[in-house]
Amino acid sequence: MPFGVLVHFVAVTVEARTAPKREAILEATIRVLRDRGLSGLKVEEVAREAEVGKGTVYLYFQDKQDLLKALVEHHTFAYYRKVEEVVSRGGPFRERLAEVLRLRVDWVEEWRGLWAAVAREAQPEDTTGWLRGMHEHYQRLLERLVQEGKARGEVRPELDTCLTAASIAALACNPQLEFPREAYLEHLLEVLLKGVAL
């Protein structure tokens, strides 16, 4: 995690403790986003959902873009924090990977595929760079997981660590879930572990 991001990360965490109303607004925002979509994400709607006045939103966020930026960072970091917890708790590679996939699917479900769109609205200039900055941390975590998987003799050693982490990250972004969640997760894991080839 780059220094700048870390600082921000800590700042967000601290603010969350000292400014419950800011937190409430962020929670309301993701709720409105899920329920009403991007075009239904109006400041007034967020304020109503958070049960505060419209002007109050502007006491905690500079403007709507600032709110969206905070939203993306808030939820993305929260997600990464959970992944970090899973990766850091040690144990069999297989179990940790299963948990990582589970978190992934939950996250995709939470955003309903709107993550990238919101990110772009939040920071139109250099969206990619911004997201890459955050993603970096996630990628490192998965690399650590793969590394430890190799060390434990549970991952094929000839695989490139970096790309394997990326492949795991690339999995399960599809919001089209039409299978029982558990069976689906189990199968994703199976495929990731053993592949589809005979």
Q: What is the dihedral of CA 20, 4, 31, 21, to 10 degrees?
A: 10
Residue 14 C-alpha from the chain's centroid = 19
> Would you count residue 120 as binding DNA (CB under 7 A)?
no
Measured from the CB atom, the residue of 81 and 181 that comes closer to a second copy is 181
| Residue 98 interface partner, choices a second copy, DNA, none, CB cut-off 5-8 Å depending on type | a second copy
CA pair distance 60, 113, nearest whole angstrom = 26
Least separation in angstroms between CB 54 and DNA: 4
Q: Which of residues 134-163 bind DNA (CB under 7 A)?
A: none
Sign of the dihedral defined by the CA atoms of residues 20, 24, 29, 30, in that order:
positive
167, 72 contact by CB (below 8 A): no
Rounded least distance, CB 65 to DNA, Å = 7
| Rounded-to-integer distance, Cα 49 and Cα 81, Å | 26
63 binds DNA (CB under 7 A): yes
Residues 3-22 as x/- pattern, contact with DNA by CB under 7 A: ------------------x-
* Binding at 41: pick from a second copy, DNA, none (beta carbon under 5-8 Å per type): DNA
Contact with DNA (CB under 7 A): which of 8, 31, 34, 64?
64
Q: Tokens 């972004």, residue?
A: 173
Q: Any contact of residue 88 with DNA (CB under 7 A)?
A: no
114 binds DNA (CB under 7 A): no
Per the structure block, which two tokens stand in for 183?
């069976």
Q: Which does 78 bind (CB under 5 to 8 A by kind): a second copy, DNA, none?
A: none
CA distance 127 to 79: 19
Specify the length of the chain in residues.
Answer: 198
Would you tell me which residues interact with DNA (CB under 7 A)? 21, 39, 41-44, 52-56, 58-59, 63-65
